[in-house]
Structure 1
C-alpha cells in the first residue's frame, strides 16, 4: 500500500544521508521550540547560528530553505496552559504571536518558513505518515510502565536518572531538569525502533558526518550499542496532541509528532502535486541544528523513523552546546533565562549575533557574561571594525573629497593584504562547511586586524604631507602613494562587508553604503563570497561617505539586567 504523499519504497534510495532526491537546495532547520514560555538567549543562539549559516549559503547564491517553528503539543504545554487559565491552543496562539515570532525580528533572522505543530498542514501530514507506518507493520499495540519526565517529554531509562538533592533527596530525578519523574502505566502503541539498531550503527560508521561534532557521535554510538528498546509512541491519559488515525482514543507521542515537522513543512504527506514537487526538490535536509540535550531524538529516533518509512536521511545532525549563566544551563526553574530583547535593546542585534557566534566555539558549552560582551563590543566591533571604516572614509573624504581615487603602483604591502583577504575567504568557507561559525568569524577577523595594521604601518596621514602627494589646494593626487593606500584599505572593507553580511547584516549593509558600492557593484546580497577576496572591484570615482558610526562606543556597556523566566529548548 502507498499512502498519499508518502513515496513508494521502490522510489527511495539507500540509508546514505542526503541521497536520492537530486536536490541542489540547501535546507537547514532549527529545533522547534516548546511554547510553555517565552524565548531566552539559548533559543536565539540556535536560531542565529542557523541564520548565519543560511545567509552564508545565500551569499553563495545557492537555493536556500530555512525552517524554524514551535512545538505546541504534549503534556508540558497542556499543564502550562491550564495553570494560566487557558486552553492549550489559546496559550500557544498567544505565545507564538507575542513572543516567538517577534524574537526573530529582534535578532534579525530571515527564515523561509515558520511551522507550528498545531497547523492542519502538519497534523494532517503527520497522520498520513503514522498511518503508513502502521500499515507497514512498524507499529503495534502494547503496554508501557516506567518513568517519564514531563519537562523532557521523554520516557527515561534507569541510567538517565540521578539521585535528587535538597527537597528531592531520596528520589530519582531527571538528570536534565533535576525534578522527580512520573511513573506511567498505560496501554500504548509502540514503534519497532529496536529493529533498527544495526542499521543505525552502520549509518554512524559509514557516514560519520551524520552526527556532529565527533563527541556527539561517540555519545550516540555508545547509547545505541547498549541496545534499543521499542518506543512507546502514544498517550491515552490526555488529549492534547495529534489523534492516532486508527484509534482516536490515543494521541501521538509529542516527539514522534514534533520530529516530523522537518519533513511535513516541505510537503511530506501532502496529496498536492505542488507540495510533492517541493518535497522532491528540498528533502532531505542538509543540516538539523539541535541542542545537545535533544540529540538522541534527532540522531536515533528520527533516522529510525525515516528508515521505517523508506525515506532518505538528512545529511547532518549537529548538536551544539549549552549557554551557561553562572555555570548553569539556562532554565525556567532556576531563573537563569535572559531575554534577547534585553541585550539587543542595549547593544543592537549585530552585537548580539557577533558575540554569540564568535565567543563560543560551536559544539561546546559556553558561558555568557555581560563583561565579556561589553569588552568585545568595544574592542572588536567599535574599535576594531567600526573605527577602521570611519578612518578610511574620513581620509578619503579629506584628501579626495569623498571620491575614491585611482591607485598607483602596488607594493608588497598591498599584495600581502590581498593575500590575507583571499585566505580569509578560503578559511571562512571551510569553517562554514564544517558548521563552525566561530572559526569563520575568526578567519574573517584576520582581515580586520591586518587592515588596521596595514594603516598603522603605512601611515597615510603622514604620506598625505609628502611632496607630490597633494596639490597646492590640499587635494590628494590620483595614482599617488596615498591613493594606493586608501584604495587598498577600501577594498579590504569591501571584502569584509561581503564576508560579514551573514553575521552582522546591518553593519555590513552600512559598510556597503559607506563605500558607495551599491551603484558600481549592485546589492550586497548579490556579491559572491568566493570572489570577495580579490581586490580591484571598486572603480575610481566611487563615492565614499563617512556617515554614522557602525558601532557607536557605549559608555554604559554593562547594564544591570534581571533574569527572565524562560524555558530551555525543546524539539
Structure 2
C-alpha cells in the first residue's frame, strides 16, 4: 500500500480562522480524501503554532493575562472550526504539546552535533508580523512589504545561529527545472533567486526576556528557540519524531506541504537545510543511500483577498467560513473556493460570485440533472433504475450528439487523476463540468444537453426502450460524477448516492478504480427520492 502524508501550515492563534485559512485547509482535505479513495495510507495534519510572540500580543489585546488559558481556548476554536466544517484531519498538532517539545529537543541536538549551530551577536531589524529578521534588501523603504503598518524593531542580541549559508549549493539543486520540490514554477524561480543571491546564516534563538513564549534552548534556559526553527518541526513531531519511530518511519517524508507564498523562504530554504543538517547525526532522517529525507514537495498558494481587498483586522473584512453554512452548506463553499481559484495563484472571495456559482453551476447544472434523471426514471420505470442494455447505454446515442458516453467519462477520470496528482482541484472541477475531449464529451454540461437533444419525456411514448437506455446512461453517469466529486463535495456526493438508491458508505468501500467502472447501477434496482441538492438559499 502506498502512503500519502499532507500538511497544512500550522496557524497562529492570534485570531480565529477566516476564509483564507479555510481555502488552504479545504485543498488539503480534498487531496487527502482523493488519496484515501485510491487506497493510500493517508495522513492529513493541521494544527496551531503557539510559541509565537503574536499570540502574547493577541492575548494582551483581548485583556487576558493567562497565556496557557488563552492558547487552550484558541486551539479549541481552531480544532472545532475544522471539525464543524468536516475537515478530515487525522491529527491536530499543537506546538506546546509534550510530543512536540520532545521532537524539537532531539532535532536541535542533532543539528548542534553536526556543527551547524554557533553563538554570535545579531543586530538588525525584526518584523513581529512575519516573526522574522529582515535584511535591508527585503524592505520597501523602511518597512516590511507584508506588514507596512508595523514598525520594525531594532534588535541587538546574543543568539545561537544556524549555518544556513553552507547549504546554498545543496538547496539550489532542489530548485532545478527537473525537480518539482517547489511549486508552482513562479515560486521556484523566486526561491532560487533568494538562495542564490541573498542566503545568509540565520539567528535561531532569542533571549528569553525578548521571547517569553518560546521553547527553551536545550542546555541554555536564557535562550528561547526561534519560532520558525520550532514551528517547522511540527510536520515531523505530528508523525512521531521524537516519540514514535514506527509511525515516523511509516509516513515521513511528507508528500506535500501546503503553504502561503509569504512563507516560502522558511519552507523551501530554511526547512530543507535544517533537515540536511540534522540528518548528518540522526539516522532516522536518512534514506538508505545516506541522503536526507526531505519533503517531496512544497506547493505555495497565492494571497487571498475579500472583494479585492487584503484580509485585514483594521478593515474588519475577515470572513468566518462557518458564516455560509446555513445559507449554502459548506460543500458549495468548497466548490466555489476550489473552482474559482487556480491553486498557486492569488485568489479573491466574493459573496456575489458565490451566489452566482451556487445558482448556475450547482443548482442549474448539477442539481437539475440529478433531479430530472431520477424523477423521470421513477415516473416511467416504476421507481427503479431502467432495465436497459448497459452496453448500449454506454455508447454515444447519435453521431450528431455532443454526448460521448462511457468513453467521455473515462477521459474525465484519467484527467482528474492527473489533476489531483498536481494539486489542481480547479482542473478537476472544470473537467467534471465541461468534459474532456474535442467535439464529444461527457461532462455535466453535455449530460444536460443529452436531455435536451433526446427529450425522453416525449420519446417515452414512441420508444420506451430507447428512453430506458438514455435514462440509464444519465443515472450511471451521475453515479460517476458523485464518485469524482467525493473528495471535493463529500456531503453532496453522499446525497447523490442515496438518491440513486445506493448506500454511500457501501458504495465508497469499493475504492476509486472499482467504483468508477461502468455498470455500477443495477437495472431494476430501487431508486431513492429526488430532493433538491441546492435549495434556494434563505435571504
Q: Which one of 110, 113, 138 corresponds to residue 132 of structure 1?
A: 110
Name the CA distance, whole Å, in 2 between partners of 1:228 and 1:321: 23
Residue 173 (1) aligns with residue 143 (2): yes
Q: Is the 8 A contact 1:82 1:88 kept in 2?
A: no
> Structure 1 residues 199, 206: CA separation in 2 closer, same or farther (over 3 Å shift)?
farther
Q: Is the 8 A contact 2:483 2:516 kept in 1?
A: no
1:457-478 deviation per Cα after TM superposition (whole angstroms, max 9, x unaligned): 1111011121x53xxxxxxxxx
Q: Which one of 549, 554, 561 corresponds to residue 532 of structure 2?
A: 549
Name the CA distance, whole Å, in 2 between partners of 1:160 and 1:334: 25
Q: Is the 8 A contact 1:266 1:279 kept in 2?
A: yes
Name the CA distance, whole Å, in 2 between partners of 1:425 and 1:529: 10
Name the CA distance, whole Å, in 2 between partners of 1:452 and 1:43: 35
Residue 283 (1) aligns with residue 252 (2): yes
Number of the residue aligned with 1:421: 409
CA shift at 1:161, angstroms?
A: 1.4
Q: Is the 8 A contact 2:217 2:223 kept in 1?
A: yes
Q: How many residues align?
A: 508
> Structure 1 residues 374, 359: CA separation in 2 closer, same or farther (over 3 Å shift)?
same
Number of the residue aligned with 1:9: none
CA shift at 1:134, angstroms?
A: 1.3
Residue 257 (1) aligns with residue 230 (2): yes
Q: Is the 8 A contact 2:216 2:224 kept in 1?
A: yes
Q: Is the 8 A contact 1:488 1:535 kept in 2?
A: no
CA shift at 1:393, angstroms?
A: 1.0
Name the CA distance, whole Å, in 1 between partners of 2:320 and 2:31: 23
Number of the residue aligned with 1:489: 474
Number of the residue aligned with 1:53: 31
- List aligned pairs for 1:393-542, cutoff 5 A: 393-408=374-389, 409-410=392-393, 412-413=396-397, 416-445=404-433, 446=435, 447-466=443-462, 469=464, 480-518=465-503, 523-542=506-525
- List aligned pairs for 1:193-212, cutoff 5 A: 193-205=164-176, 208-212=179-183
CA shift at 1:541, angstroms?
A: 1.9
Number of the residue aligned with 2:189: 218
Q: Which one of 295, 298, 315 corresponds to residue 264 of structure 2?
A: 295
1:478-518 deviation per Cα after TM superposition (whole angstroms, max 9, x unaligned): xx111111110011000011000111111100000011122
Name the CA distance, whole Å, in 1 between partners of 2:512 and 2:69: 45
Q: Is the 8 A contact 1:499 1:532 kept in 2?
A: no
Number of the residue aligned with 1:156: 134
Which structure has more relative contact order (CA 8 Å, sep 6+)? It is 1
Number of the residue aligned with 1:341: 322
Q: Is the 8 A contact 2:507 2:515 kept in 1?
A: no
Name the CA distance, whole Å, in 1 between partners of 2:336 and 2:230: 34
Q: Is the 8 A contact 2:327 2:538 kept in 1?
A: no
Q: Secondary structure at the match of 2:357?
A: helix
Name the CA distance, whole Å, in 1 between partners of 2:506 and 2:191: 44
Moved >6 Å (runs of 4+): none
Of 63-72 and 408-417, the range deviating more from structure 2 = 408-417
- List aligned pairs for 1:98-117, cutoff 5 A: 99-117=77-95
Name the CA distance, whole Å, in 1 between partners of 2:107 and 2:314: 36
Q: Is the 8 A contact 2:126 2:133 kept in 1?
A: yes
CA shift at 1:91, angstroms?
A: 1.0
Q: Is the 8 A contact 1:425 1:532 kept in 2?
A: no
1:256-299 deviation per Cα after TM superposition (whole angstroms, max 9, x unaligned): 010000001111122xxxx1111111000000000111111100
Name the CA distance, whole Å, in 2 between partners of 1:240 and 1:323: 29
- List aligned pairs for 1:224-373, cutoff 5 A: 224-236=195-207, 237-270=210-243, 275-310=244-279, 311=285, 312-373=293-354
Q: Is the 8 A contact 2:508 2:515 kept in 1?
A: no
Q: Is the 8 A contact 2:384 2:527 kept in 1?
A: yes
Q: Is the 8 A contact 1:117 1:123 kept in 2?
A: yes
Residue 85 (1) aligns with residue 85 (2): no
Number of the residue aligned with 1:64: 42
1:385-434 deviation per Cα after TM superposition (whole angstroms, max 9, x unaligned): 11111101111111112111221444532882212211111111111111
Name the CA distance, whole Å, in 2 between partners of 1:347 and 1:326: 19
1:319-352 deviation per Cα after TM superposition (whole angstroms, max 9, x unaligned): 0112112423212233221111112232111011
Q: Is the 8 A contact 1:243 1:251 kept in 2?
A: yes
Q: Secondary structure at the match of 2:105?
A: helix
CA shift at 1:373, angstroms?
A: 0.4
Q: Is the 8 A contact 1:29 1:67 kept in 2?
A: yes
1:368-389 deviation per Cα after TM superposition (whole angstroms, max 9, x unaligned): 1111000000001111111111
Of 528-537 and 86-95, the range deviating more from structure 2 = 528-537
